[in-house]
Amino acid sequence: MTNTLDPWSSSDIADYSKLFEEFGISPFDEILPEVPSPSTYMRRRVIFGHRDYEQIAEAMRTGAPFSVMDGFMPSGKIHLGHKMVMDQIIWHQQMGASAFVGIADREAFSVRGFSWQKCREIGTEEYILSLIALGFKPDGLIYFQSGCESVKDLAFELGVKVNFSELSAIYGFSGETNLSHMISVATQAADILQPQLEEFGGPKPVVVPVGPDQDPHLRLTRGLAGKMNMFRIEERENTNGWKYFSVRGKGAPKEALQELKKRIPGKVKLYEEHIDVLQTPDYPFLMRLVSEVRKADRKNQYLAEIESVSRFMEDAKPPEFAEYEKYFVFRKIWKLTKKILEQIVAEIAAEFGGYAFIPPASTYHRFMSGLQGGKMSSSVPDSYIALTDDPKEGAKKVKRAKTGGRVTLEEQKKLGGISEECSVFELLLFHLLEDDEELLEIRQECVSGTRMCGSCKQLAAEKMSEFLKDHQEKRELAREHLDEYRIIYKK
């Protein structure tokens, strides 16, 4: 498997930049200024990539509905790697997302051979208690895949749109792969699309925070989202080089297609005219487009955005628009037009029992390395810290961890440490130090040779022990409050 990321083996991705080229993941840096109060992981570049996060950032800014979704296979001890994902779910929930957490017991059953009972125990004891202890709010939904009828039904429907060749291209499946494993893949796609079902408020942007090894699930699900939809909106170009939106409803019921024609024909011209404006834009033409978009927005859902374009046009000294101003207005109208079209299409799809999924967005975070260097491995307890480790033992593990320090003190003073190869610094960066300034100071002292590893280890060990103690107390509290949460178990 050269260009396949395998989510079932913890592959070490040495060169993240390859992901940008090979898999079309965009650098997170580009979107960072659009995110209101970015999270610690974002600020510290632990989150390095994304797909379509623009729609999530926009929903956060405008207060539009959006969701965060993630899943955990109940396979063993909950550790700091899982905490990273939980932190991101909770952060998005605090930013206004409706949150969904799936316990992937179908995956554990099919891939690990665990019994349903064992999945339930590990899922609750390890994952759910820590999720709540870290701050998950009760208005989110937690479910075991095996107990969630809507996920199971959707997984079955999704199965129609995916075949074995596709699965083996994405995951490297072979003739030896068991059928349940394949079903668990469809189930995970259903997990990701579930927040957009009518019973959860219909189509909306959904973000899935993952490590890069989980990207195959995202690529599969994004493809399936398009294939499941009753209508497809495409940007096309005619023979004159004019771009336009085309709405196609292959396989949609006749009545739905009639309804589409009824709702869209008056606006088709508007969509077709857009690209020409790039060559011959003038003020009256752009004004007309704004007024047509306003008319098309029957439910006034985009009123604020339309008003802001209008205000911009009034303020920008009409009619002598600069080129960049024309382009700016044009792009805004193009985006609004697409949103309104999506809205119309989603309403008709819902009316006629179809889907209008928006392809899910995702963020990608760096993996934590093992405490001894290399990868974290569940079979080597010294390579990771579990959230249920005894606090004293957790502190000892930190003290035994591999640092980026030099062999002798003299060398350390002369050459400085290598903080980017230091698992102790990584613990401070990912989990233990909230203050960015303090972290930067430690890094500076490290690379300049004025800091010795012993002081970092001492600091990290103390903070780790405090964190574990506090977290474990909160886990016990969570146990008492489990019934206040919406949790769907296998019946």
- Where do contacts with ligand SF4 occur on this chain (CB under 6 A)? 403-405, 417, 419, 422, 424-425, 446, 451, 453, 456
Which tokens sit at 36?
A: 């209101």
Give min distance, CB of 422 to ligand SF4, in A.
3
Cα separation, 376 vs 306, in Å, equals 50
Give min distance, CB of 381 to ligand SF4, in A.
21
Give min distance, CB of 451 to ligand SF4, in A.
4
Is 67 in contact with 204 (CB distance < 8 Å)?
Answer: yes
Is 467 in contact with 431 (CB distance < 8 Å)?
Answer: yes
Which tokens sit at 11?
A: 């592959």
Helices then strands, counting H and E runs in the chain, come out as 22, 10
Q: Which amino acid, 377?
A: S
Is 56 in contact with 66 (CB distance < 8 Å)?
Answer: yes
DSSP 146: G
Q: Pick from 250, 251, 249, 268: which is nearest to 259 by CA?
A: 249
Which tokens sit at 489?
A: 């178990």
Q: Pick from 56, 434, 432, 15: which is nearest to 209 by CA?
A: 56
Asked whether the CA dihedral 128, 132, 134, 139 is positive or negative, the reply is positive
Q: Which is nearer to ligand SF4, 129 or 453 (CB)?
A: 453
Give min distance, CB of 412 to ligand SF4, in A.
7
Give min distance, CB of 453 to ligand SF4, in A.
3
Q: Which is nearer to ligand SF4, 129 or 433 (CB)?
A: 433
Give min distance, CB of 162 to ligand SF4, in A.
46
Q: Pick from 249, 238, 306, 305: which is nearest to 273 by CA?
A: 238
Q: Which is nearer to ligand SF4, 161 or 402 (CB)?
A: 402
Dihedral pair phi/psi, residue 446, rounded to 5°: -65, -55
Give min distance, CB of 397 to ligand SF4, in A.
14
Give min distance, CB of 447 to ligand SF4, in A.
7
Give min distance, CB of 28 to ligand SF4, in A.
24
> Quick count: other Cβ atoms within 10 Å of Cβ 181?
18
Edge-to-edge strands of the sheet including 486-488?
A: 26-27, 47-51, 361-365, 206-210, 67-72, 98-103, 141-144, 486-488
Q: Which is nearer to ligand SF4, 194 or 419 (CB)?
A: 419
Cα separation, 446 vs 38, in Å, equals 26
Distances (CA, A) of 322 to 280, 310, 332: 13, 16, 16
Q: Which is nearer to ligand SF4, 80 or 456 (CB)?
A: 456
Q: Which is nearer to ligand SF4, 359 or 417 (CB)?
A: 417
